Amino acid sequence: MKQLLLVFPLVFLLCFTFGCKQQVEEGLTEEEAKALIEGFVKFRNDGDLASADKVMHPECVIRYSNLPDDIVGLDAYKEYDKMTRITFPDFKMTVDDFFVKDDKIVAYWTLDATNAGPLVTPMGELPPTNKKIHISGIGVSYIVDGKIKKDVAYFDMLNLMQQLGFTLVPPAPSEEK
């Protein structure tokens, strides 16, 4: 009986401790991330708006290094995708590698395309050059409710511009008086 009295408080304490422990929400699995990436690439490569609805959060925020401002909302992103199809009708993105951490997917991607329409850049709109490009970049996607809520992509804009035939011209020296 004395042993039972000693065991009971210990069992109660253990149950209370583990019962009150906060459940830690697990992040994405690699399979979930791969499905999101495949849906995203399908949307971007094919302009498949049904795929966009499946993988992009309605309140998504998109930040790409070629854009002067963020794109906010799925409808605005779909419009951007339509412009991309005019600028690069043969747009072909490939995700070469990715990893998952908690609610983030970090992907290394390459893009091949031909510039057949005007290109929107932070410097303004540039005319088409009909030249092919091959660029690589890194994207970080933040996942909320199983969809991409924020997507941030970085790539070398100078490399892109040089492939299109644009040059970087240094400013003229100022005249001293």
Poorest-pLDDT segment among 14-23, 83-92, 140-149, 150-159: 14-23
> What pLDDT shows up at residue 59?
98
- For the chain, what are the domain ranges? 27-163
DSSP conformational letter for 127: -
Burial class (CB in 10 A: 0-12, 13-18, 19+), 125: exposed
Q: What is the DSSP letter of 123?
A: T
Note the pLDDT of residue 8.
Answer: 47
User: What average pLDDT does this structure show over 9-34?
Assistant: 62
**Fold of the CATH domain 27-163:** Nuclear Transport Factor 2; Chain: A, (3.10.450)
What pLDDT does 28 receive? 93
Task: Check residue 177 and give its pLDDT.
Answer: 62
What confidence tier does 23 reach under pLDDT thresholds 50, 70, 90? very low
Nearest Cα neighbor of 35 from 133, 169, 143 is 143
Is residue 55's pLDDT more than 90? yes
pLDDT digits (tens, 9 = 90+) for 89-140: 999 999 999 999 999 999 999 999 999 999 877 778 899 999 999 999 999 9
